């Protein structure tokens, strides 16, 4: 593929709710431009951008894909982002690589949750947003209804540029509201130009009026002209649309049926003519090593600044890093500096990705998107630059993964393979988190939702040959004592030969929450020799780790060693360890053992309409509501302290309750006593699990 100047490049992200037709749209764009000779279908698993086996199986996009489309001397780098909430990380990272966003909305389903989420993310980034109403050939499709929903959701900046000709299965073309021309399609991806049909004229004029109003409102000069004359000339509207769209003050709406390739050539022309080029986006802000901000122009002659926005882990090729060059250029067989990691990286062959296909390029200049394999240290979110002028772009901000699964390899001896697979997947996916819990002795993976974790587990098996079993992650309960207690530990075996002899007496008392463990030595008169006192402590600590009634570790106690006995020949380190363990168990039973549970600080942000439902649900989860406050237009922030066990699946529950519109963060706060009726169930379950493990 030839090298394009920044003025002739368009970087576009396709976003929208799952099922809106983004993958089919990219397929139609490639077909209309001549890059492919026939369109694949999601149902057949043969599209360019959905090539991962998990995508073919589930018939949804689960990973960001890219394909360049050449149209009228312009290179359009199209990024196809997944539309399901579990894969929002790819949307967030891709937004950093593009200059405009195209929201794909189904003419049947209208504005859905992820449409709103994607709009908000693009608005936060200050990116221009256009809308394509897709699937106009389907039953129950309605352009007018969807347009009303768009205006209601995003305001009067939503401006229709086209109107569909025909409805549902009779949809055959689009009417241009600017030029008053019609474009009809008869199976070819190229429209035939003609006059507006009579059926369109009556519907079109009110929409043309809407368009003029939106254009006028976006520009002070144009609004004066509009108020004076009552209308705008076509050239004024065209200029106003381009300026308003580039400044993200107008969101143009176009029509299409991707599956029938109707309106796709018009969309490509609009992107090539009206979408901003990297050069038009202007200078970028970078931060030097000293923390000073600098501005860099989008030119190939400036120092290199590139951002890695996606990492693909391939078991055969290794890492593939997708990057956007903001200034300077990247050439093959060169060395770049990873400013985030502080290391040099050797760049081998450069290529652009068309789905899973690699097309070699001679260089990646400012404004373009490229890919490179086998960078040793580089991961998603890193900045590449020159060593003599190191700078960094702002890091990616990813949502916190909060749904936890405990995983273990199905085959014994696969622990190392599992560890290696997880390390590779972490490099590929910034929304995945892995922890080894010292308290529950589990490997826990955290993801954005069930679909996300299912894909991770499938990839582990396919890419790295590791099959895992999964279970809900255990809650790290703890034991402590209610009052004071005293216990005697006696381990005496003297039946011929070298025996074992150790006796100790301990007293225990509770400490404040979080104080840990204290061991006090009050032995006098040599009742236990000095060398065996640490042995008693070891035994007590070991018994605490295993728990007394539930198998969960005991915490927050002071243990005082007050008396004991020894034998000059038979006493040993092991004998006093066992005695210490027995003494603790007896003392704990006398003091009264209670179970503690982790309490988390929950912060939930939801639209006002869902506040009552969310509050009611939290109250049913034993939550202590800390307060409610406004969190921006139409949203409320709820703060609460909740037992972790009650919100283990909150990522799924909140999404279900709010239709995906709610978000939350969660962090550990403290430990509190479990109510007695729940403690009984937890202890019984722990003892049953222990018995089953012993049988195995």
pLDDT tens per residue, range 614-653: 999 999 999 999 999 887 778 889 999 999 999 988 988 9
User: Given 254, 274, 294, which residue is the final one in a domain?
Assistant: 274
Same domain for 227 and 112, yes or no, is yes
Q: What share of the chain is helix, strand, coil (3-state, %, to 5)?
A: 35, 35, 35
- The answer to the question of residue 691 being in a domain is no
**Segment among 47-51, 294-298, 435-439, 619-623 with least mean pLDDT:** 47-51
Same domain for 152 and 222, yes or no, is yes
Beta strand 251-255 with 158-160 is: parallel
Ranges 148-162, 193-207, 271-285, 529-543, most confident: 529-543
Average predicted confidence (pLDDT) for the chain: 88
Same domain for 603 and 574, yes or no, is no
Same domain for 227 and 322, yes or no, is no
Same domain for 321 and 470, yes or no, is no
Query: What would the pLDDT profile of 641-690 be if each residue is shown by its tens digit?
Result: 999 999 988 988 998 898 888 888 888 899 999 998 888 888 888 778 77
- The answer to the question of residue 686 being in a domain is no
Residue 183 binned pLDDT confidence (cut-offs 50, 70, 90): very high
Percentage with pLDDT > 70 across the chain = 98
Q: How far apart are CA 562 and CA 388, in angstroms?
A: 67
- The answer to the question of residue 279 being in a domain is no
**Per-residue pLDDT at 324 exceeds 90:** yes
**Per-residue pLDDT at 497 exceeds 70:** no
Say what angle helices 611-620 and 650-658 make with each other, to 10 degrees: 150
**Per-residue pLDDT at 325 exceeds 90:** yes
Query: What would the pLDDT profile of 205-262 be if each residue is shown by its tens digit?
Result: 778 777 777 777 777 777 777 676 767 777 777 777 778 788 888 889 999 999 999 9
pTM over 0.85: no
**Segment among 50-59, 78-87, 316-325, 593-602 with least mean pLDDT:** 50-59
Closest CA to 521 of 534, 539, 512, 503: 534
Give 356's DSSP letter. T
Report the CATH number at residue 488.
Answer: 3.30.230.10
Contact 99, 278 (CB under 8 A): yes
Query: What would the pLDDT profile of 73-110 be if each residue is shown by its tens digit?
Result: 999 999 999 888 888 888 999 999 999 999 999 999 99
In terms of residue numbers, what domain contains 21?
6-274
**Per-residue pLDDT at 562 exceeds 90:** yes
Hey, what are 31's tokens?
Answer: 């077909």
Comparison of pLDDT for 315 and 642, the residue scoring more: 642
Report the chain's C-alpha Rg in angstroms. 32
Same domain for 624 and 581, yes or no, is no
Same domain for 268 and 321, yes or no, is no
Same domain for 586 and 603, yes or no, is no
Report the CATH number at residue 305.
Answer: 2.40.30.10
Same domain for 417 and 492, yes or no, is no
Q: Which residue has the tokens 């990522």?
A: 651
Same domain for 533 and 668, yes or no, is no
Q: Provide the phi-psi class of 45: left if phi over 0, else alpha when psi is between -120 and 50, else beta.
A: left
Percentage with pLDDT > 90 across the chain = 42
- The answer to the question of residue 1 being in a domain is no
Same domain for 411 and 335, yes or no, is no
Looking at residue 557, its pLDDT comes to: 94
Number of structural domains in the chain: 5
User: Given 458, 474, 490, which residue is the final one in a domain?
Assistant: 474
**pLDDT average, residue stretch 540-551:** 90
Residue 496 binned pLDDT confidence (cut-offs 50, 70, 90): low
Q: What are phi and psi of 637, to 5 degrees?
A: -110, 125
**pLDDT average, residue stretch 275-291:** 86
Same domain for 20 and 158, yes or no, is yes
User: Given 251, 274, 297, which residue is the final one in a domain?
Assistant: 274
Q: Which residue has the tokens 């006696």?
A: 490
Q: How far apart are CA 391 and CA 232, in angstroms?
A: 46
- Alpha-helical segments (H) within 66-112: 88-95
Looking at residue 682, its pLDDT comes to: 86
Report the CATH number at residue 607.
Answer: 3.30.70.240
Q: What is the largest CA-CA distance in the chain?
A: 115
252 beta partners: 159
- The answer to the question of residue 696 being in a domain is no
């Amino acid at each position: 593929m030839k090298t394009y100047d920044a003025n002739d490049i368009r970087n576009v992200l396709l976003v929208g709710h799952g099922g809106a037709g983004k993958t089919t749209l990219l397929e139609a764009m490639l077909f209309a431009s001549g890059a492919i000779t026939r369109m694949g279908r999601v149902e057949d698993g043969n599209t360019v951008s959905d090539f991962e086996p998990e995508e073919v199986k589930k018939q949804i996009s689960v990973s960001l894909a890219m394909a360049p489309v050449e149209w009228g001397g312009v290179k359009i780098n199209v990024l196809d982002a997944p539309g399901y909430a579990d894969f929002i990380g790819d949307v967030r990272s891709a937004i950093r690589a593009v200059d405009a966003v195209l929201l794909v909305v189904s003419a049947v389903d209208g504005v859905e949750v992820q449409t709103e989420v994607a709009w908000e993310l693009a608005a936060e980034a200050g990116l221009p947003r256009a809308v394509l109403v897709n699937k106009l050939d389907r039953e129950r499709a309605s352009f007018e209804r969807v347009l009303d929903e768009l205006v209601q959701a995003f305001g009067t900046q939503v401006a229709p540029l086209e109107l569909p000709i025909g409805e549902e299965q009779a949809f055959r073309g689009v009417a241009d509201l600017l030029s008053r021309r019609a474009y009809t399609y008869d199976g070819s991806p190229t429209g035939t130009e003609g006059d507006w049909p009579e059926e369109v004229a009556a519907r079109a004029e009110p929409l043309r009026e809407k368009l003029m109003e939106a254009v006028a409102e976006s520009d002070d000069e144009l609004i004066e002209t509009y108020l004076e004359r009552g209308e705008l000339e076509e050239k004024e509207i065209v200029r106003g649309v381009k300026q308003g769209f580039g400044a993200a003050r107008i969101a143009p709406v176009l029509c299409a049926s991707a599956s029938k390739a109707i309106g796709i050539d018009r969309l490509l022309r609009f992107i090539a003519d009206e979408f901003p080029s990297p050069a038009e986006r202007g200078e970028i802000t970078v931060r030097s090593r000293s923390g000073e901000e600098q501005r860099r122009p989008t030119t190939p002659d400036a120092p290199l600044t590139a951002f890695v926005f996606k990492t693909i882990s391939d078991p055969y090729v290794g890492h593939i890093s997708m990057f956007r060059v903001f200034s300077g250029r990247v050439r093959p067989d060169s060395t770049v500096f990873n400013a985030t990691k502080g290391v040099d990286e050797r760049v081998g062959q450069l290529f652009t990705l068309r789905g899973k296909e690699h097309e070699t390029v001679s260089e990646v200049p400012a404004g373009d998107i490229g890919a490179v394999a086998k960078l040793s240290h580089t991961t998603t979110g890193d900045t590449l630059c020159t060593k003599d002028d190191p700078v960094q772009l702002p890091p990616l901000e990813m949502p916190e993964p909060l749904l936890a699964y405990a995983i273990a390899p199905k085959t014994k001896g696969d622990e190392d393979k599992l560890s290696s697979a997880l390390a590779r997947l972490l490099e590929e996916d910034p929304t995945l988190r892995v922890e080894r819990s010292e308290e529950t002795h589990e490997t826990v993976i955290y993801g954005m939702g069930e679909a996300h974790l299912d894909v991770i587990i499938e990839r582990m098996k396919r890419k790295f040959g590791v099959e895992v079993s999964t279970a809900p992650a255990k809650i790290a309960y703890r034991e402590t004592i209610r009052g004071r207690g005293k216990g005697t530990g006696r381990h005496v075996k003297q039946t011929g030969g070298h025996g074992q002899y150790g006796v100790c007496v301990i007293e225990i008392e509770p400490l404040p929450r979080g104080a840990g463990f204290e061991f006090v030595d009050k032995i006098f008169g040599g009742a236990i020799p000095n060398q065996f006192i640490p042995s008693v402590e070891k035994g007590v600590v070991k018994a605490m780790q295993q728990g007394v009634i539930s198998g969960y570790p005991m915490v927050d106690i002071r243990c005082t060693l007050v008396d004991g006995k020894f034998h000059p020949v038979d006493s040993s380190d092991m004998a006093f360890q066992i005695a210490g363990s027995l003494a603790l168990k007896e003392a704990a039973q006398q003091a009264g053992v209670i179970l503690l549970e982790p309490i988390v600080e929950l912060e939930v942000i939801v639209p006002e309409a869902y506040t009552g439902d969310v509050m009611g649900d939290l109250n049913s989860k034993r939550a202590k509501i800390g307060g409610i406050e406004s969190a921006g237009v139409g949203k409320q922030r709820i703060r609460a302290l909740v037992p972790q066990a009650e919100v283990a699946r909150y990522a799924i529950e909140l999404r279900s309750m709010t239709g995906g519109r709610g978000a939350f963060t969660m962090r550990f706060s403290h430990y509190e006593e479990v109510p007695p009726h729940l403690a009984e169930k937890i202890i019984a379950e722990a003892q049953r699990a222990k018995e089953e493990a012993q049988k195995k």
